[in-house]
């Protein structure tokens, strides 16, 4: 399950729907720079590290080896989950890869000095950098590190030199670092495990594994709109690698896209609209477009098929989940960006250079809009669709809009989100999302 745009596409809801029919849900990259929101009735869950499959008690959970994990954030999320449900899943159905990297206070301090890219400031990039430089701490390394006072002193000195160079005034004391490591080891030792072999054995038993991406394809460190990207590989190629299993296990790959486009942070955005008026304002206000992790307003724009096709090239989606379709209700006209004008040349690919992309002007197709419906009407429409009509339950103008997306991408639309609630979805008949949707069991 992958984000097909610049993140915030609604992956949490889609994962929540399939997790009830899966044995495992696995986060394979990123950290608490991602935010997944799940709405079930009157309950809204906002998670940054815990896999969205946590809402299904039959589903085991893994924080994979490709992740960088802030133990304090994870502790807070687990406490919130326990307060809501009474469950303490760590070591029972939640497991942390022993190979996953640990985010320490140093990483957050160092990240706070970054301003250009517009990161979340959660220490994600510095933690990945340390792992690439082979000086980072993984969960499996904690006992050995705690037993070596000279090692603790050395890494504290290295951290302080880097902080001073970046102009950060905070310092890392060896005693504090040792105390932090001791707390992390004691708090999470029941859950730290060799999760790669665990998942491989589960697959051999015929169990189903749902791989849960964070961020989106256009934020991929290699293939995204560099340098305005995240610090990890967000695409399909890393899904199994970051879980510790081989790529041959993937049977289906679903891309999640909004019916329009949003972006958080800095970087070029060709189809961007004004948040002050018109369709951009409606997308922002009706869609409640604020970052789950940062709270920053998301930039909004028309659906960008150039970026979406780039995402398809990288991931080979077997199905497309189109979310927040309801947000567009009431607009007289809908637009789809089908190409760019770059200095007078029509192109249909994403330039590798951010400078080039910033000069791209969108070339649009225009389509008729559709009426706005109340949340209750959308829920009723979704309910009626589950009686056998599926996507055919949607009005003709909406079906035509979705059909055009299918034509331009070559990907079948398998589910459409028409509201934040778990039940506010319309799936293709007999498709992968044509499953029983229940109210919350927690």
Helix, strand or coil, per DSSP, at residue 65: coil
CB 273 within 8 A of CB 283: yes
**How many Å apart are CA 407 and CA 393, to the nearest integer?**
20
What is the Cβ-side half-sphere exposure of residue 283, based on CA atoms within 13 angstroms?
Answer: 24
Helix, strand or coil, per DSSP, at residue 40: strand
**Going by DSSP bridges, is the β-strand pair 192-193/94-97 parallel, antiparallel, or unpaired?**
parallel
Instruction: Write the Ramachandran bin of 260: left for phi over 0, alpha for psi from -120 to 50, otherwise beta.
Output: beta
Count of helices and strands (H, E) across the chain: 14, 20
CB 12 within 8 A of CB 37: yes
DSSP assignment of 170-238 equals ----HHHHHHHHHHHHHHHTTTEE-HHHHHHHHHHTT--EEEE--S-GGG-TTTSSTTSS-SS--SHHH
Is the Cα torsion angle 79, 84, 87, 90 positive or negative in sign? negative
DSSP 327: G
Which residue of the set 8, 111, 130, 220 is catalytic?
8
Note if 36 is an active site residue. Answer: yes
Note if 304 is an active site residue. Answer: no
Strand order from edge to edge, sheet including 425-427: 2-3, 254-258, 319-323, 413-417, 425-427
183 to 6, 49, 326, 369: CA distances (angstroms): 35, 19, 46, 55
CB 3 within 8 A of CB 216: yes
DSSP assignment of 256-303 equals EEESSEEE-SSS--TTB--SSSHHHHHHHHHTT-B-TTT-PBPEEESE
CB 295 within 8 A of CB 229: no
Q: Which residues pair with 427 in a beta bridge?
A: 415
Which residue of the set 16, 23, 36, 48 is catalytic?
36
Place of tokens 């009706």: 286
Residues with catalytic function: 8, 36
């Amino acid at each position: 399950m992958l984000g097909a745009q610049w993140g915030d596409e609604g992956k949490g809801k889609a994962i929540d729907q399939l997790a009830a029919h899966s044995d495992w849900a696995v986060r394979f990259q990123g950290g608490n720079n991602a935010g997944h929101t799940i709405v079930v009735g009157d309950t809204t869950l906002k998670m940054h590290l815990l896999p969205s499959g946590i809402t299904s008690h039959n589903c085991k959970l893994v924080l994979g080896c490709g992740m960088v994990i802030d133990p304090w954030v994870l502790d807070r999320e687990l406490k919130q989950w326990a307060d809501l449900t009474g469950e303490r899943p760590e070591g029972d159905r939640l497991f942390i890869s022993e190979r996953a990297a640990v985010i320490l206070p140093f990483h957050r301090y160092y990240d706070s000095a970054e301003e250009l890219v517009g990161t979340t400031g959660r220490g994600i990039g510095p933690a990945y950098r340390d792992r690439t430089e082979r000086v980072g701490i993984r969960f499996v390394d904690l006992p050995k590190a705690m037993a070596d006072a000279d090692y603790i002193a050395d890494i504290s000195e290295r951290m302080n030199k880097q902080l001073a160079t970046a102009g950060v005034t905070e310092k890392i004391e060896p005693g504090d670092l040792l105390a932090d490591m001791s707390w992390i080891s004691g708090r999470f030792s029941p859950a730290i495990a060799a999760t790669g072999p665990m998942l491989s054995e589960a697959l051999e038993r015929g169990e189903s594994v749902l791989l849960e991406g964070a961020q989106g394809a256009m934020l991929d460190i290699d293939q995204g709109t560099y340098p305005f990207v995240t610090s990890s590989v967000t695409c399909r190629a890393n899904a199994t690698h970051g879980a510790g299993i081989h790529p041959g296990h993937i049977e289906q790959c679903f891309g999640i896209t909004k019916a329009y486009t949003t972006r958080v942070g800095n970087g070029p955005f060709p189809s961007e609209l004004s948040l002050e008026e018109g369709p951009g304002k409606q997308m922002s206000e009706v869609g409640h477009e604020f970052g789950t992790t940062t709270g920053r307003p998301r930039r909004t724009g028309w659906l960008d098929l150039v970026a979406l096709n780039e995402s398809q090239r990288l991931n080979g989606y077997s199905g497309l989940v189109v979310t927040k379709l309801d947000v567009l209700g009431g607009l007289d006209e809908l637009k789809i960006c089908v190409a760019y004008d770059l200095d007078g040349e029509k192109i249909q690919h994403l330039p590798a250079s951010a400078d080039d992309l910033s000069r791209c002007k969108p070339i649009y197709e225009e389509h008729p809009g559709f009426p706005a419906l109340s949340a209750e009407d959308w829920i009723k429409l979704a309910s009626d669709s589950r009686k056998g009509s599926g996507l055919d339950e949607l009005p003709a103008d909406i079906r035509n809009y979705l059909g055009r997306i299918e034509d331009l991408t070559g990907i079948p639309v398998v589910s459409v989100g028409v509201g934040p609630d778990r039940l506010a979805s319309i799936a293709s008949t007999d498709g992968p999302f044509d499953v029983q949707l229940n109210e919350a069991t927690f």
